[in-house]
A and B are shown apart, each in its own frame.
Chain A
């Protein structure tokens, strides 16, 4: 004790930080098996969680992108009531000019108008018989559509709306109507004013999207053809907008909203982001993500038990050592701090391994993508969109959430375990037999 009194005050109070870290690190390797097992448990759980969340994030991205490209676009400009109440009379007026204006906005990569209504489609069977079927008829701009939609690419026969009176028909609808490329069909419906709307078209092409509903219900014609038959003038129901990527949607929506307001069209037209257009896809994603979060917490808690146990064992085994440290003048607070550092070193080791392995897997397998067999879509009855390859995406929450939660729990565990140190009496501890 006399020597200690001669030492500089700072050194007596606590060892330096570097020394702390060094001693803690060495302490870990006094029982390498335990350290590896504990860090391994952490690494295993973090690896799984990051992988799981990356798979989810990748799937969501693919799903969002695919449904945007097949059906809805990244956002749409619609009549304010059209989303809840899709009626022919709820139109956006003067779409030619409005589409051109919107397409000039910096965030908008592509914009194209669509008009649509429900109608009865009939086809002559050649023997005096006629078949008819209810369908959704969509008027589109073929050039604009090619930029934004995957539907033109789903062509299986004929061409995509090349002739002025061409129709682009879903494969199941074509089969039900008994028509093929070159056949005539007649569309009957009611105009905006309630009169009879009729148009005759020639089947120019047939598509198979893999979505049973689209293939059975959908038929496209050129926009002016539909506008004339249904007395829509220069009006349409949707202006479909695309931007660079899913995360950029919000910024684009803001920009478009501003543009609509300055054009004085804010009351007559409203911009709807993707999530509002396809709430069921977004909700499926939320539902699935909730499952991921539950998995994260249960896994982390199971591992936390193991961490606490490892720390308890460490502390109990070293009662004598701690007694000695106390006897030579180390403060209980310093010992607690050392245990914290030890626990966090273990956590850092587990995190490095877990995240390292996860990043390795995600960056090799995930970025290249895993091919999904065509049969998967058929097995699911073509009710959902199934991408050709599925990717994994490492995003910030996946990489930070699990380590942060586990780090926090580890730190709390180390603190609780080290509370026991306050009860250690140096003399009694030194006498204890190991």
Chain B
């Protein structure tokens, strides 16, 4: 029997029970839409976590001196040529690299007239910090002008703790490579705010040359490179590892294992959510299909008696299931996208402020509707519809025509 005829038959059969199939369709639509939406939220979190980890001065790839992570200090450092460029490397083109920045990051103690705190002193070149959160800081007062700027910017949380203000002076104490402490006074150029109050209390920024002068050295402690797309990371890592042999060349995943583990967990969470929803849905689906087959036993027997092949009977049941599943999936994806569109710019989750910043997330969660996720849902749902129809279809096929017609 021709497939087209079977599809037509299946389609008409579905319309024989408008209400039942309508409700089933509603169930599938709802389940698929909820999975599509949940996926977009979970992905949004994942993208944001990864972005934040990269933003947190890690870059996609970072070069450190061996031992720096265990004992961060100027003793674990290296030299970078002034005119060094990652896109001059073999096989790396400029459009693959979003930017790079070298920094001097050392533990230090900050003292105001009133209070003393431990901080991370980061010497930066402001012009190259568009690759990290430092370039996006909201600064009250002035930002740093260039790598030779002798002023500092401190976080709002720290400024409050040590009771300092824009224009005031603070003293920084840090340790040189020789183990001797260096100490100097600096003026506060600006006070920055971020989503995370703990960041504000840790990082104090000044010009890179300024920290090098204080420590009487020309070395840096880190070099971060950001790529334009995640897939350019591995080839870059390879090249950098060749160039900087003897140094640690690390990915953001290695530098921030928490964020990396969370993003890995999320890949699994998407599948788990799908199977939970579809598992619940499959009970109703099988129920409807079984009923649809059972109430048509006589009819099926007759079809067999007038010459329909068992294979065609089986195919027809599968087709019916696939048709309604297909319609439900289409409706579900459509509904999911319709709900997604108005919230595509982000959802405000201010109520969970502190928890979100603990996970490196900002208050506004931007859901990410990714084509691959939708395709995965569509394909897996179709497979589910196919599997759900297996038992009723086989039952239907096995029944002899006479036996069926006698019912």
Contact = CB atoms under 8 A, between A and B. Distances in A.
Given A134-B118, A306-B284, A383-B258, A280 B291 contact: no
A129 B118 contact: no
A312 B256 contact: no
B107 A309 contact: no
Nearest to A52: B276
Nearest to B259: A381
Interface string A62-98: 0000000000000000000000011100000000000
B180 interface: yes
A317 B107 CA distance: 78
Contact of B179 (A120, A129, A299, A384): A129
A301 interface: yes
A103 to B, nearest CB: 31
Contacts of B279: 44, 48
A interface, size bucket: 35 or more
B116 A175 contact: no
Contacts of B178: 129
A284 B355 contact: yes
A286 B354 CA distance: 11
B281 interface: yes
Contact of A120 (B20, B70, B173): B173
B84 interface: no
B70 A175 contact: yes
Contacts of A120: 109, 116, 118, 173
B302 interface: no
Contacts of A118: 115-118
B20 A313 contact: yes
B280 A303 contact: yes
Interface in B285-333: 285-288, 290-291, 295
Contacts of A317: 295
Nearest to B277: A302
Contact of B19 (A119, A295, A312): A312
Contact of A134 (B19, B30, B70, B117): B117
Contacts of B355: 280, 283-287
Contacts of A299: 276-277, 280
A434 B184 CA distance: 95
B119 interface: yes
B242 interface: no
B118 to A, nearest CB: 2
A408 to B, nearest CB: 17
A97 to B, nearest CB: 30
Contacts of B359: 284
Contacts of A305: 23-24, 26-27, 30, 284
Nearest to A300: B280
A84 B273 CA distance: 40
A189 interface: yes
B353 A283 contact: yes
A381 B70 contact: no
Contact of B107 (A134, A279, A301, A316): A134
A171 to B, nearest CB: 11
A217 B257 CA distance: 20
A302 B180 contact: no
Given A125-B179, A129-B178, A381-B258, A217 B283 contact: no
B368 interface: no
A298 interface: yes
Interface in B96-142: 107-109, 114-119
Given A175-B71, A284-B359, A286-B355, A190 B116 contact: yes
Contacts of B387: none
B31 interface: yes
A33 B292 CA distance: 13
B181 A132 contact: yes
5 contacts: A86-B161, A118-B118, A302-B34, A303-B284, A380-B258
Given A134-B107, A283-B358, 8 more contacts: A34-B287, A41-B283, A284-B359, A302-B31, A302-B277, A309-B23, A313-B288, A380-B257
